[in-house]
Amino acid sequence: MHKATATAAALALPVGLVLAAAPAHAEIPDEAKDTAVLHAQIQPLNETDAAGTSTVELQGTRMTVQIHATGLAPGLAHAQHLHIGGENTCPAGLDLDENGDGLLSAIEGVPSYGPGAVSLTAEGGTGAENKLALELMPVADENGKLEYQRTFDVSEDVAKRVRSGQAVLVQSGIDTDGNREYDFNGAGRSDVDESLPAESTHPASCGMFAAAPERGMETGLGGTADTPRAAMIGLGAALVTVAGAVAVAGRHLLRTKA
Ligand SMILES: [Cu+2]
């Protein structure tokens, strides 16, 4: 009897310690209030010429997203989202092309990048419910360039998961037949919504967000750098990146015209 009680007490001790420690974990960690900056390199999906960079900056649950993309279908709106909950990766080629039609659909890519969690609309709501609202989405210019910046609030869960590197940028919209509109002739009906052309929902680009290196965090994008030298280094790197993107875009233009 006594022996059993002693054993129970001994077992109870570590449990008590764990319980006592639990409330500390329930509090919002300090890092969640700090600024976090993540970068993504935009890469093509479905053999588009998409390229560019994207940055997500978080202050608590306030999110600023910047996208500098080239090589998208010109003159068309591109539904773009932060996807969360897959393997946090961009699909490799046509590995996930389940129906073997030679195109990766929005849904076929989900095991890789997860479902859309944030709609990167130009105006209106940014929740998942607007992910197909093409009329709210940014439009690529006549050269296929798309510049985007918007600041909005996200849920604590989304903020936490973006901070931990679980977000993937996906920009949709391909023009398979090059007729400068989304239609059903190009690739049939969308597997997300049958009333929409697949051309409008098939992914055109993808980018995986990863935390910026220490120096990038200091300089940030918001211009909060307290060390001018570091800021200059960051600016220099950014200019080199832009110059590279312009060069690549130029080559693609020449190739398209040829
Ligand atoms: Cu998406």
Centre of ligand 1 to C-alpha 5, Å, is: 58
Centre of ligand 1 to C-alpha 60, Å, is: 24
Neighbours of ion ligand 1 (CB under 5 A): 81, 116, 170
Burial class (CB in 10 A: 0-12, 13-18, 19+), 12: exposed
- Give which of 83, 60, 214 is closest to 151, Cα–Cα: 60
Identify the pLDDT of residue 32.
62
Centre of ligand 1 to C-alpha 173, Å, is: 10
Centre of ligand 1 to C-alpha 117, Å, is: 8
Identify the pLDDT of residue 93.
87
Dihedral sign, CA of 226, 231, 233, 234? positive
**Domain 30-212 classified CATH 3.40.50.2300?**
no
Identify the pLDDT of residue 170.
98
Centre of ligand 1 to C-alpha 224, Å, is: 31
Centre of ligand 1 to C-alpha 33, Å, is: 27
Residue with tokens 């023009």: 175
Centre of ligand 1 to C-alpha 83, Å, is: 6
Identify the pLDDT of residue 214.
54
Centre of ligand 1 to C-alpha 23, Å, is: 36
Centre of ligand 1 to C-alpha 187, Å, is: 17
Structure tokens at 183: 């239609």
Identify the pLDDT of residue 228.
40
Centre of ligand 1 to C-alpha 131, Å, is: 7
Residue by residue, pLDDT tens for the chain (258 residues) are 344 444 444 444 444 444 444 444 555 555 566 899 999 999 999 999 999 999 999 999 999 999 999 999 999 999 999 999 999 999 998 989 999 999 999 999 999 999 999 999 999 999 999 999 999 999 999 999 999 999 999 999 999 999 999 999 999 999 999 999 999 998 999 999 999 999 999 999 999 999 976 554 444 444 443 334 344 444 444 444 444 444 444 434 333 332
Three-class SS string for the chain? CHHHHHHHHHHHHHHHHHHHHHHHHHCCCHHHCCEEEEEEEEEECCCCCCEEEEEEEEECCEEEEEEEEECCCCCCECCEEEEECCCCCCCCCCCCCCCCCCCCCCCCCHHHHCCEEEECCCCCCCCHHHCCCHHHCCECCCCCCEEEEEEEECCHHHHHHHHCCCEEEEEECCCCCCCCCCCHHHHCECCCCCCCEHHHHCEEEEEECEECCHHHHHHCCCCCCCCHHHHHHHHHHHHHHHHHHHHHHHHHHHHHHC
Centre of ligand 1 to C-alpha 122, Å, is: 15
Q: Residues 76, 204: contact at Cβ < 8 Å?
A: no
